[in-house]
Amino acid sequence: MALKISRRGIIPPFIVMDVMRDANEREAQGEGVLHLEVGQPGTPAPGPVLEAAKAALSDDRLGYTDALGLAALKKRIARHYRDFYGVEIDSARIVATTGSSGGFVLAFLAAFDAGDRVALASPGYPAYRNILKALGVEVVDLLSGPETNFQPTPDLIERAASTGGRIDGLIVASPSNPTGTMIHADGLKALADYCRDTGIRLISDEIYHGITYGEAAETVLRFSDDTVVINSFSKYFSMTGWRLGWMVVPPDLHRSIECLSQNLFISPPTLSQYAGIAAFDCMDALDANVARYASNRALLLERLPQAGFESLAPAEGAFYVYADIANLTNDSQDFCRRMLAETGVATTPGIDFDPERGNRFMRFSFAGEKAVIAEATERLKQWMG
């Protein structure tokens, strides 16, 4: 008799990780790959972070910490909100997490029950959708486009509620993945007010804060104390493999998140927490990284249209360009697969971010080296002929 397999694991893959696996296999066979698929900084963690980690390895036994994180780290994060945003946050509301991914799991489990309906912009980060589905939560895709800067609005939420029933939660990301678009202060306030008035739990993904190319990103904490905010050391702080993130949680979810953290994770990685404290003293080096991203962005926005990729999202922040390729294909997954096989340029099909319309979109990451991006665009121009 066949053994039972839980339906929770029958969810779509995170396609960009499949693309990275295929690219790595190509490299293992001795074929070159230009990586424009994964949103991973091309720079290492700053020097003081590495020094703090070495000191912790020498001086500390690296046992478990409190389930919600080191007190020193939480105080430093609270100070960051005061310094960076001018917002005062009690460090007791800070929760250190095993990457932002751990934060999403904790937030979704604490805020939503199976059968609840949670809205998010489509295109959007696929892990939101897939984690919610694994938890039995109904995902409500808000089909956004250039007319709303690829972001949710109260009108889109109203429309979804009027046709499908009550909305229990909303996930926003500004800057967003894959489009790099932002919800500016007035729009963020409107969403926070709408969610408060209608009893919708708002979760704000702010992991690309610090990586913007004009106006700075605004935190929703300026407009709401009921929101769950999730951030990470992976992007701006250039610490992807350290698997460290944080949350700012409202009082009504605090104990639930603490109990979930204790049982699911015990505590976040201790070494990474000690190192993370030092990351906040590296702003000059981190801002230099952002300047490199800005240069990469300018190069990509200039050269992609020359290669036939004519319709691009604004890329106001993060390190992605989202391209409408309806003039080139109706199958983005096959298009990206052929691109990798024939040019060695690895990119991500839009179907990863938008199940309904992503067949005619794709995403380029410009987080890596400028020379790689320059070579990739030259290959694409030749390939497109």
CATH of residue 233's domain is 3.40.640.10
* Averaged pLDDT, 195-212: 98
pLDDT single digits (tens) 166-189: 999 999 999 999 999 999 999 999
Residues 152, 200: one domain?
yes
254 within some domain:
yes
* Residue that is last in its domain, among 248, 265, 282: 282
pLDDT band at 120, cuts 50/70/90?
very high
219 within some domain:
yes
Determine the pLDDT at residue 237: 97
Residues 183, 78: one domain?
yes
From CA 91, how far away is CA 94, in angstroms rounded? 5
Determine the pLDDT at residue 30: 85
163 within some domain:
yes
From CA 298, how far away is CA 303, in angstroms rounded? 9
- Domain carrying residue 127: 61-282
Closest by Cα among 320, 302, 324 to 312: 324
Using only C-alpha atoms, what is the Rg of the chain? 21
Find out whether the peptide bond into 154 is cis, omega within 30 degrees of 0: no
pLDDT band at 18, cuts 50/70/90?
confident
Residues 192, 105: one domain?
yes
Structural domains in the chain (count) = 2
Residues 232, 368: one domain?
no
From CA 57, how far away is CA 194, in angstroms rounded? 47
Residue 385 predicted with pLDDT over 80: no
54 within some domain:
no
Average pLDDT taken over every residue of the chain: 95
* End-to-end CA gap in the chain: 56
Residue 60 predicted with pLDDT over 80: no
Residues 103, 228: one domain?
yes
Residues 120, 185: one domain?
yes
With pLDDT > 90 as the criterion, what percentage of the chain qualifies? Answer: 88
From CA 303, how far away is CA 300, in angstroms rounded? 5
Residues 290, 229: one domain?
no
Using CB atoms within 10 Å of the CB of residue 304, give its burial: 0 to 12 exposed, 13 to 18 middle, 19+ buried. buried
- Residue type for position 11: I
* Residue that is last in its domain, among 282, 307, 339: 282
* Averaged pLDDT, 211-221: 97
What residues contact 272, with CB distance under 8 A and at least 6 apart? 53, 233, 239, 242, 243, 244
220 within some domain:
yes
186 within some domain:
yes
Kindly list the distances between the CA atom of residue 356 and the CA atoms of 141, 144, 291, 333, in Å, as whole numbers in the listed order: 9, 11, 35, 13
